[in-house]
Amino acid sequence: MLEAKRILLIVGGGIAAFRALELIRRLRERGASVTPVLTSAAEQFVTPLSVSALAAAKVYRDLFDLTDEAEMGHIELSRAADLVVVCPATANLMGRMAAGLADDLATTLLMATDKRVMLVPAMNVRMWQHPATQRNLATLRDDGILTVGPVEGAMACGEFGPGRMADVPDVVAAIEGVFATGPLSGRHILVTSGPTHEAIDPVRYIANRSSGAQGTAIAAALRDLGARVTFVTGPAEVPPPPGVDVVRVISAAQMAAAVDDAFPADAAVMAAAVADWRVENASGSKMKKDGTGAAPQIAFAENRDILATISRAANRPALVVGFAAETDDVVANATAKRQRKGCDWIVANDVSPGTGIMGGTENAVTLITETGAEPWPRLSKAETARRLADRIAAHLTETMA
């Protein structure tokens, strides 16, 4: 998939810079050529000699190097690649990108390129969670920048949490996903996944048992068919797949807003287990026992019906797929749900106790369309996802040719 692809690799200045060396090696093993660019901070962690040796290519470092500008000016360098990858993408580098600065070779190349850009963030957990970093991340994603990671893990500083660079094989898979070709190439598909958490107070919430495994598998299967996937996920147990645009949310209200922001899309697969209700009188402080034995009075309000809303929206996707997790009369209830919500298809499954479906590794679904119900055999969630992705591809090819 990467044979003869040209990658412009910008190495940022963080401790994770040493992992860019492994990334270069793996990309070249797959047939890609790598043109490396080092920021001045990156040179504190890796040497130009080691980077050049692994890339078998010249290392570019200085915006004002007259020899480099004569041989290949920064404008040509920024556009000669098929993809620009920033690894690691530090908080500082992301901030400068979001602000539109072009004050060194790396940021100038990023401003001048007409190719897709992928960031591989890596930083301290507090830096990653800082509101400024999250604002910058939102700006960059709005600009069409792809991201891979970060993930949770132990960091060089001794802290633990989100901010650790994604594993190199996942970064490679994400890069391969950019070049994936298939029946969904050029299509944008929205996938929602995971549970939502509805706050009772700052330390308690109401949720469900969804692991997010099926939605994650669907996003990966659609990506493998060439689609550009926006993956809106609640706090799931499984990590998002590489090579998709990830939007993380907590509550149903946040998921609804993220879905709105993801449009327009050619198709939407609404696999998330969204809470039907939220706590209307959620407390701003932890609820305490008062010694009387009386339970707190919790009032509920209905959340916005995301599936019904997008099924009837003016900018409705050409195909809207809903999910129905049922414990009784699965096909009848799911068929009624499809008609009530206004979506095109419903993927129904039996999550009654004893099936092992909810939170498990397998699924047994019935695909319900306007023509009737089609039961599928019990399969792994990955195989279920591939079947659904193939059906989506065939439908879009037929209806949007």
58 marked ligand binding residue:
no
**pLDDT reported for residue 289:** 86
| CATH 3.40.50.10300 intervals, the chain | 188-399
381 marked ligand binding residue:
no
5 marked ligand binding residue:
no
pLDDT band at 30 (very low <50, low <70, confident <90, very high): very high
**pLDDT reported for residue 401:** 63
Across 298-312, average pLDDT: 94
Peptide bond into 88 cis (omega under 30): yes
**pLDDT reported for residue 294:** 86
Q: What is the dihedral of CA 108, 111, 115, 120, to 10 degrees?
A: 80
**pLDDT reported for residue 357:** 63
CA–CA gap between residue 172 and residue 213 (Å, rounded) = 21
**pLDDT reported for residue 245:** 83
- Within 13 Å and on the Cβ side, how many CA atoms surround 227? 30
pLDDT band at 362 (very low <50, low <70, confident <90, very high): confident
The gap between the terminal CA atoms of the chain, to the nearest Å, is: 25
Q: Has residue 296 got a pLDDT over 90?
A: no
| CATH 3.40.50.1950 intervals, the chain | 6-178
pLDDT band at 68 (very low <50, low <70, confident <90, very high): low
Element (H, E) at 350: strand 345-350
Sign of the four-CA dihedral 123, 127, 130, 132 = negative
CA–CA gap between residue 378 and residue 386 (Å, rounded) = 13
**pLDDT reported for residue 300:** 93
Q: In terms of pLDDT, which residue wins out, 179 or 34? A: 34
Across 251-256, average pLDDT: 96
CA–CA gap between residue 12 and residue 91 (Å, rounded) = 10
Peptide bond into 121 cis (omega under 30): no
Q: In terms of pLDDT, which residue wins out, 328 or 38? A: 38
- Within 13 Å and on the Cβ side, how many CA atoms surround 68? 15
64 marked ligand binding residue:
no
CA–CA gap between residue 225 and residue 241 (Å, rounded) = 14
Across 61-85, average pLDDT: 78
Cite the active site residues: 157
Element (H, E) at 254: helix 252-262
CA–CA gap between residue 242 and residue 165 (Å, rounded) = 12
* Greatest mean pLDDT among 57-66, 286-295, 347-356, 389-398: 389-398
Q: What residue type is assigned to position 105 of the chain?
A: L
pTM of the model: 0.68
**pLDDT reported for residue 237:** 86
Across 213-220, average pLDDT: 93
pLDDT above 90 covers what percent of the chain? Answer: 61
Task: Give the three-class secondary structure for 167.
Answer: coil
Identify whether the C-beta of residue 36 lies closer than 8 Å to the C-beta of residue 64.
no
Across 98-115, average pLDDT: 91
288 marked ligand binding residue:
no
CA–CA gap between residue 108 and residue 101 (Å, rounded) = 8
Across 31-49, average pLDDT: 94
pLDDT band at 69 (very low <50, low <70, confident <90, very high): low
Element (H, E) at 323: strand 319-326
- Tell me which fold the domain 6-178 belongs to: Rossmann fold (3.40.50)
Q: Has residue 86 got a pLDDT over 90?
A: yes
Q: Give 325's strand partners.
A: 349
- Tell me which fold the domain 188-399 belongs to: Rossmann fold (3.40.50)
Across 181-192, average pLDDT: 90
Q: Has residue 361 got a pLDDT over 90?
A: no
Judged by average pLDDT, the poorest of 77-81, 163-167, 280-284, 330-334 is 77-81
CA–CA gap between residue 52 and residue 27 (Å, rounded) = 14
Rg over alpha carbons for the chain, rounded to the nearest Å, is 23
**pLDDT reported for residue 84:** 94
CA–CA gap between residue 295 and residue 313 (Å, rounded) = 41
Q: Has residue 290 got a pLDDT over 90?
A: no
Across 263-280, average pLDDT: 94
